[in-house]
Amino acid sequence: MATAVYGAAYHRPEEAEVDARHERHYARQVARLERCLDVERRHLLDVGCGAGAFLRFVSERGWEVEGTDVVVTDWARASGARLWAGELPTIDFGTTRYDVVRFNHVLEHTRDPLVELRRAREVVSPSGILLVGVPNVAGLSLRLKSWQSRLGLKSKRWRHYAALHHLWFFTPATLQRLVEAAGFEVILVETPVMDRPDRSPALTGVYRGLLETCRAGSLLDLYARAR
């Protein structure tokens, strides 16, 4: 089923490139990871690597990178990274252990997020880091859409919970509990706000500051250490 849904046609060619909005987000994730890591050698496994944009981004910064996906795309292969085909729990990595295991907008698509995270705990190094990025259903945008749906002000009520491929929805609290149940200790939880080209930098700064302080951004990034 997963290979049928997430085949090569699921990804678009432009996803292989890092645009300005994603570059800022990727740079933020890498900076957080580098502060968390206790080792100079940085070996990362990107679960659900898609078209390979993040693999290219971190590889250019000196990281050793590998990626997995249910169907490996030609764009990901072009990154030069070692790639594994299949769902994470089914892949045999041998004795390899990673300094970082990253799920970026992948966990909400999986059949059993806890099984995925427990497998990540098995393949991460003893002091390794887990990074999980998911949509934040406690964010301001989804809260407003839910409010509109309750009052009948939205033409397609509750459509925001009807994403075709999203099987799970997380708040900062529920994601933290799940990660801890898988054997990790949470280090940092934040709700980063992406840049908007149609918004002035000054307005973006105010908007970002408010939403991130209140953990009300639409994105949710969680960093945790193996324990």
Q: Indicate which CATH number applies to the domain containing 60.
A: 3.40.50.150
Residue 208 scores a pLDDT above 60? yes
Which pTM was predicted?
A: 0.90
Helix, strand, coil distribution of the chain in percent, nearest 5: 40, 20, 35
pLDDT reading at 190 higher than 70: yes
By percentage, how much of the chain surpasses pLDDT 70?
Answer: 89
Query: 137: which 2 tokens?
Result: 């259903």
CA distance 25 to 222: 13
Which residue in 63, 61, 47 sits closest to 134, CA to CA? Answer: 47
Average pLDDT over residues 174-201: 90
Average of per-residue pLDDT across 63-69: 98
- Tell me the one-letter amino acid at 129: I
Q: Which of 66, 52, 73 is nearest to 7 (CA)?
A: 73
For residue 152, the enclosing domain spans 2-226
Q: Name which residue leads in pLDDT, 34 or 200.
A: 34
Q: Place 197 in a pLDDT band, splitting at 50, 70 and 90.
A: low
Ranked by mean pLDDT, the top range of 159-168, 191-200, 201-210 is 159-168
pLDDT mean across residues, the chain: 90
Q: How many domains does the chain have?
A: 1
pLDDT(10) > 80: no
- Reduced to 3 states (helix: H, G, I; strand: E, B; else coil), residue 170 is strand
pLDDT confidence of residue 2 = 62
Asked if residue 1 has pLDDT above 60, the reply is no
Which tens digits make up the pLDDT trace of 68-113? Answer: 999 999 999 999 999 999 999 999 999 999 999 999 999 999 999 9
